[in-house]
Structure 1
Amino acid sequence: HDGTTISMWLTALSAFCGAIYKKYNIDLTGLLQYVANQLKAQKSLDLLILQEMVHKMGGIEASEEMTKEHMEAMQGGELLRAEAAHFGQVRVTKKAAQRLKETLLESNLAIPLCLLIAQQRNCVVYRETENNHLKLVGKLYDQCQDTLVQLGTFLALNMSVDDYVRRLPQLGSLLSDYHIHADVAFFLARPMFAHSINSKYDELRRAEKNSKNLLPAQKTQKYLEAVRLVMTPICESVRPLCAARVWEDLSPQFFATFWSLTVYDLSVPNAAYEREVQRLKVAIQQTNENRDLPASKRKKELDRCTALMDKLLEEEKKQKDHNERIMARLTQEKDSWFLCRSAKLAKTETITQFLQLCLFPRCVFTATDALFCARFVQLMHNLKTPNFSTLICYDRIFCDITYTVTSCTENEANRYGRFLCAMLETVMHWHSSKKIFDEECANYPGFVTKFRVGNQPSENNDHVDFENYRHVVHKWHHKIAKALVVCLESKDYVQIRNALIVLIRILPFFPVITPL
């Protein structure tokens, strides 16, 4: 590196490695082992080589520049993600991706590389950068994070789930033996949870005598039973992460649920499916009209488009059914998420633990995680979760973002901006009309201002009304402006850069007040 950035020669050499290994069938083991050895020696600069190899050979790019359409597609099933959201030319790199996967598995480096990158990410700030510029420290951290997500995504897409489950250590082992932080441990283990729950669900259904004719309610019951059997050990393995008093505010079950779900579980991106189906219909029409195309080729292309369209519609239905089961699960769980010790603590401690252990670590992990966090807060509100104050949660997030913005790396600021934008979207939706506010907020426990112990009934004046809510939103906008001005007026490069990144991300909903 040259003080503040990674040297051009290393960037060019890494790109060259990626391109040459993609084009020619050269043994990859030596280079992958070299990267692993460098990580063992606590040097992460050479991760750039791995990043380029996974990008060029696997077709998976670590990119923050995702459009709204890409983000929507990323919330769908595997097929929708592959069709609409992959940045790399996936079709071109099938052979190369297969070669990279086989080398990683045969040399037994797939999971060790993930774990080494995760461990290096945790210590990069302390070990590699004592005398370096803060800008470079952020770059190295981002490189660890991006390569980890890229490699993890590549393995989850290209390995069979059974193989993946067999090779990856159990969650408890990741957390305690390998000292991996919860955000990474759950990122790596997430494909296992969904697979285990679905396998157990199928097993329980088949065990029934009349399994073909089960009623929807019976199927839901079987699913909830499968979730309980799979998630109970997970809840136990997260207990040692925090002091006992933390679990007095926030249950281990909630922690495990929050970290194990993905944005795929929360809603169906109907618009993205519709867009993709329309695109295929246009392609079919154009193929039919193209008289220059030989009949055999035309038939082949028409068959491909029709089959893909059917698969997408099937995938959309499958995701809708899955969503309904997830909602049944969350509805059943929500009453035991936040354990209220006293009325006052419901306002402060519970929200603090939620922000500290769940929301802040996850909203800067990936762009889709940022979206997940905003959606999950809205979902908790919609479910009328007991002892959870939506109002205080939003208030704590918006009231002083100076420290959060300052402590982000450049890529994290991008994700944090996405998170704030999604949160502001909900806030402004409720702000847009009294009718919407009355329907979606007025009598919800999330908008209670006076907290009462136990089962004391709440009164009408305990809730925030629309006019008061509008004043609160005005205050939030003012606070965001104030915090970002502090960052912009500081003489620190990182603060100024991060503030600008966040401002660009929240542009659709900020600023709306003149003068601020």
Structure 2
Amino acid sequence: MVSEQFDRCHGILLQYAEFLSSAVTPSTYVQLVPPLEDLVYKYHIEPDVAFLIYRPVMRLFKSASSGEACWPLDGNEEGEPVSCDDMILHGDSSQKLIMWSDLLNTIRTILPTKAWNGLSPELYATFWGLTLYDLHFPKDRYDAETKKLHDNLKQLEDNSDNSSIAISRRKKDKERIQDLVDKLNNESDKHQQHVASVLQRLAREKDKWLSSGPDALKINMEFLQRCIYPRCVFSMQDAVYCATFVKTMHSLGTPFFNTVNHIDVFICKTLQPMICCCTEYEAGRLGRFLHETLKMAYYWKSDEAIYERECGNKPGFALYFRFPNSQRVPYAQFVKD
């Protein structure tokens, strides 16, 4: 009964947050939402919910020098990389000026001090600030929708009714569909460029996300506990996002992030306790995250050539966690385990 009520309230929260972010302009939204520090400490909101509310505000951080590139994009109009250290929040002129470093300082106070032994505030801010739109370009979906529209155009052209009314109607329908095709192509190009720019920034920043410590195994556990677990059960889209973010960290070759250990700890050590702590809807989202994680692992397992291309030279498959450039896990051992 309690879990059902929690799921119902959580669903309303997601709907309200989505409505608020889409119903008002970004400049208005930043005036309505309190600073992250107030959300966490004044209103005592959990970090995962606080970032759900504050995430649209993070996209208003722009370069202080040029004022062009918005986080998390990388580069200004001249294509020059823009450092986060140079970013300020562009909101209402009457509000206090907030630097990106101020946001990181607030984030440092959210977690216990020991959590930062391996994690960095930069990784925490990046993980909680990004969305699936930033990391994944669904090319197949765009192509399928474009093909569907072209098929509709072809059907109109094949129509043999040559009456004046039919011709007039076909002309209007063609113009409407062609307009949709143009909009879809523009959206596709914009999305593809957006993802490429975000990945460019992540590739530039990945080296300072994690740091080696006396117990390198705790790095993955901290990342799971502070980032993956709270967000993968937050919504179905967040579940897919978490798996995509892990895959991105692996593909970028993030130092000290061990992909093999991440999968092992999640499935073999923490999955069962998590299921016992989930509500009905949270269990479904956790299942989606598990599905996406296993799909990634089975893809690597399906062929040795794929494994060597995508895993053989990545730090995520290093045998020794503290040494990202050490010997890699052989394909035979990965398949066996």
TM, length-normalised to structure 1:
0.58
Q: Tell me the distance in 2 between the aligned counterparts of 1:157 and 1:298.
A: 34
Q: Structure 2 vs 1, CA of residues 278 and 188 (structure 1 numbering), >3 Å: closer, same or farther?
A: same
Cα distance, 1:283 vs structure 2: 2.3
Pick aligned residue for 2:120 from 248, 251, 254: 251
Q: Tell me the distance in 2 between the aligned counterparts of 1:388 and 1:340.
A: 10
Q: Does the 8 A contact of 1:346 with 1:388 survive in 2? A: no
5 Å-filtered alignment, 1:6-25, equals none
Cα distance per residue 1:327-356 (max 9 Å; x no partner): 1211111111112223xx212x11111011
Q: Tell me the distance in 1 between the aligned counterparts of 2:123 and 2:281.
A: 28
Q: Does the 8 A contact of 2:68 with 2:76 survive in 1? A: no
Cα distance, 1:249 vs structure 2: 1.4
- Which secondary structure state, in structure 2, belongs to the residue aligned with residue 221 of structure 1? coil
Q: Tell me the distance in 2 between the aligned counterparts of 1:452 and 1:245.
A: 18
Select the structure with the greater relative contact order (CA < 8 A; seq sep ≥ 6).
2
For 1:388, the aligned partner's letter is: F
Q: Tell me the distance in 2 between the aligned counterparts of 1:252 and 1:202.
A: 25
Q: Tell me the distance in 1 between the aligned counterparts of 2:190 and 2:64.
A: 17
Gaps of 5+ in 2: 70-74, 90-99
Runs of 4 or more consecutive aligned structure 1 residues displaced over 6 Å after TM superposition: 199-202
Q: Tell me the distance in 2 between the aligned counterparts of 1:300 and 1:320.
A: 30
5 Å-filtered alignment, 1:363-378, equals 363-378=232-247
- Which secondary structure state, in structure 1, belongs to the residue aligned with residue 79 of structure 2? helix
Higher mean C-alpha deviation, range 234-243 or range 269-278: 234-243
Q: Who is 2:293 aligned against? A: 423
- Which secondary structure state, in structure 2, belongs to the residue aligned with residue 219 of structure 1? coil
- Alignment length (residue pairs): 318
Pick aligned residue for 1:182 from 47, 57, 68: 47
Cα distance, 1:294 vs structure 2: 4.4
- Which secondary structure state, in structure 1, belongs to the residue aligned with residue 113 of structure 2? coil
Q: Tell me the distance in 2 between the aligned counterparts of 1:238 and 1:299.
A: 56
Q: Who is 2:97 aligned against? A: none
Q: Tell me the distance in 2 between the aligned counterparts of 1:201 and 1:141.
A: 45
Cα distance per residue 1:479-511 (max 9 Å; x no partner): xxxxxxxxxxxxxxxxxxxxxxxxxxxxxxxxx
Larger radius of gyration: 1
Q: Does the 8 A contact of 1:200 with 1:226 survive in 2? A: no
Cα distance per residue 1:277-318 (max 9 Å; x no partner): 112112223344453754444333322211121111111111
For 1:406, the aligned partner's letter is: C
Q: Who is 1:203 aligned against? A: 67
Q: Tell me the distance in 2 between the aligned counterparts of 1:255 and 1:308.
A: 38
Cα distance, 1:232 vs structure 2: 2.8
Q: Who is 1:219 aligned against? A: 79
Q: Does the 8 A contact of 1:448 with 1:463 survive in 2? A: yes
Matched, 1:274 2:143: yes
Q: Structure 2 vs 1, CA of residues 304 and 196 (structure 1 numbering), >3 Å: closer, same or farther?
A: farther
Q: Tell me the distance in 2 between the aligned counterparts of 1:316 and 1:440.
A: 26
Q: Does the 8 A contact of 1:366 with 1:415 survive in 2? A: yes
Q: Structure 2 vs 1, CA of residues 259 and 336 (structure 1 numbering), >3 Å: closer, same or farther?
A: same
Gaps of 5+ in 1: 1-135, 206-214, 473-516
Cα distance per residue 1:425-472 (max 9 Å; x no partner): 01000100111111111232111122446x9x63xxx32101110111
Cα distance per residue 1:73-105 (max 9 Å; x no partner): xxxxxxxxxxxxxxxxxxxxxxxxxxxxxxxxx
Q: Tell me the distance in 1 between the aligned counterparts of 2:313 and 2:17.
A: 43
Quote the RMSD (CA, aligned, Å): 2.4
